[in-house]
Amino acid sequence: MKIITVNVNGIRAAEKKGFFEWLKKENADVVCLQEIKAQEDQLDERFYPKEYHCYYHPAEKKGYSGTAIFSKKKPNKIIKKTNWETIDFEGRLIQADFDDLSVVSIYVHSGSAKQERQDIKMAFLTQRFMPYLKQLKADGKKVILCGDVNIVHQKRDIKNFTGNKNRSGCLPEERAYLDELFNQIGFIDAFRAVNQEDHQYTWWSNRGQAWANNTGWRIDYQILTPNLQGTVKNTRIYKEERFSDHAPLIMEYQL
């Protein structure tokens, strides 16, 4: 099973840069998108590739946030409503259920704009998301969580750690959150299950020469419930073309 996750930073902009032509060549089983920045009535047939069942969860605010899932196999169920207010209103999560496996596309808040957004981000992560993840484990659900988590986990996941360690996305409490998730609760960072190299990034700022100098952050993940241990076969970050300020993260599983 091949799964791609990518923050497209505007699906209409990504389409103009050749995203859908590339997607056809990749031939993935499931594609998770974040930050689609579009309502469904703004999307024509170009955004519904015929080889996929396509599901969108746009934000209520136009041109903002939103997620999507494309799947070759028709899901048994699509879930968009979580009863988490900032998540539902901003279209930040969509889930596809296939028999005994669920795939989730999630776009966690950025806290970089102002402290209020950072507070919303941490409240969601600690009060809503962590209890939900613990319940997934307790229930024995098989889940692959794909998306832009807006947090780097370790020093090796960001080029300039010292300069960013007090900025949203690299804060001690954010990295400690992922420590707890991976090291204590047992969820799996699928990328790190097979790739231990340094300088593996998925996002580069549009400021300065970040892309040219590979001054990046690894903030896009595929996160597995503990019962999917050992299923990751290989991974790559696709950087040959640029569809947005994020690179697609591609994982292959033996499920």
Reported for 159-164, long-range contacts at CB under 8 A and 24+ positions apart, including other chains, are 159/199, 159/201, 159/213, 159/214, 159/215, 159/216, 159/217, 160/215, 164/217
Q: Is 97 a catalytic residue?
A: no
User: Which residues have CB under 8 Å from 105's CB, separation 6+?
Assistant: 5, 32, 33, 34, 67, 68, 69, 93, 94, 95, 146, 147
Angle at 201 between CA 200 and CA 203, to 5 degrees: 175
Which of 29, 148, 189, 220 is labelled catalytic? 148
Cβ atoms of 150 and 169 closer than 8 Å: yes
DSSP 91: T
* CA separation for the pair 11, 246 (Å, rounded): 12
247: number of Cβ within 10 Å = 24
* CA separation for the pair 70, 27 (Å, rounded): 11
Which residues are designated catalytic? 148
